[in-house]
Amino acid sequence: MKILITGGAGYIGSFMTKRLLDKNYEAVVFDSLERGHKNAIDKRAKFIQGDLKNLATLEALFYEEQIDAVIHFAGYISVEESAKKPNLYYQNNVKGSENLFSAAVNIGKVDKFIFSSSAAVYGNPIKIPIPEDHPKNPTSPYGKTKLTTEQTLEHFGEQHEISFASLRYFNAAGASIDEKMGENHNPETHIIPLAIKAAFKNQKFSLYGDNYKTRDGTCVRDYIHVVDLVESHILALEKITKDKGEYFYNVGTGNGYSNYEIIDMVKKISGKDFKVQTAQRRKGDAEVLIADPRKIHEDLGFTPKYSDLETIVKTAWEWHRKNSE
């Protein structure tokens, strides 16, 4: 089976590409390299550079490659940036996805899709942990682009005989167990690599808000190790290959850690006591996001193996330590 991985030069996409190849799938990576890294792409994969906003490029790809399924990661991911540049996020995440699905279905006759969605589709939850049928009320333009893209997939599902799984991530984190692959966003907005950077450089760490209605005043998030996360995609791909339909799954652990707990763990693993300064809240940040992961466990047998906080931070620290020397 030949799989197209959009955003395959990015953090999760590069892990996904390697895992697919290790399981003897063929892999074609499509990435603009605007924010990805070509050297992160497994050399066994075929690489095509291009932009989702260019429909002609996508149509040419599906004319030339016999793609069996698409795993769609490509998209901007910063809540903060999306609040400042909502149209940028709409054009790239929503219109780019529409182009991808259109070319894949109409030209490539692709009928299987896995979409990299987000817990941001829920907004500030009215129920914790959050089930998949929770009301969708995103608080950021980023979250709105993810929800709109889910709806676009549903529309394509109504018009064409396609199957898809939308995987709603609850904070991907960590690095490979062998320390060869890790998180290297540009710009970086995620708390764990930013805290690790502060530890390395003995800099102040900016904490965005400490007056949330949580146990210690900081945001609480459910973290999933990237190695576990890509495994959920393998299981979802096997599911839609075997059982046609439309599926929505939370990918998390059901446990939440506060930002202060993250910082304390980075200090423990690094052995460095960097200073923390409180900054203003970021617009669009929800207070608490914790998954109810029962559905993906029951449907797909998905059980995270590496998603305890110490393993997440330790693998991230070791990767950054090796790659900053």
Report CA torsion sign: 302, 67, 175, 188: negative
Beta strands in the chain (DSSP E): 2-6, 26-31, 46-49, 69-72, 112-118, 163-169, 172-173, 205-208, 220-221, 224-225, 246-251, 257-258, 276-279, 288-289
Q: At what angle do helices 96-106 and 141-159 cross, to 10 degrees?
A: 20
Rounded distance between C-alpha atoms, residue 251 and residue 175, angstroms = 17
**Burial class, 136, CB count within 10 angstroms (exposed 0-12 / middle 13-18 / buried 19+):** middle
- Phi and psi angles of residue 320, each rounded to the nearest 5 degrees, phi first: -65, -35
- Beta strand 220-221 with 224-225 is unpaired
- Phi and psi angles of residue 113, each rounded to the nearest 5 degrees, phi first: -135, 140
- Minimal CA–CA distance to 315: which of 193, 190, 186? 193
Name, in order, each residue with C-beta under 8 angstroms of 281's C-beta and a sequence gap of 6 or more. 208, 209, 211, 212
- Minimal CA–CA distance to 284: which of 82, 76, 88? 82
Query: What residues are labeled active site?
Result: 142
Report CA torsion sign: 18, 20, 26, 30: negative
- Contact of 185 with 40, CB cutoff 8 Å: no
Partners of residue 257 on adjacent β-strands = 221
Number of neighbours of residue 97 by Cβ within 10 angstroms? 23
> Running DSSP on this structure, what letter comes out for residue 127?
S
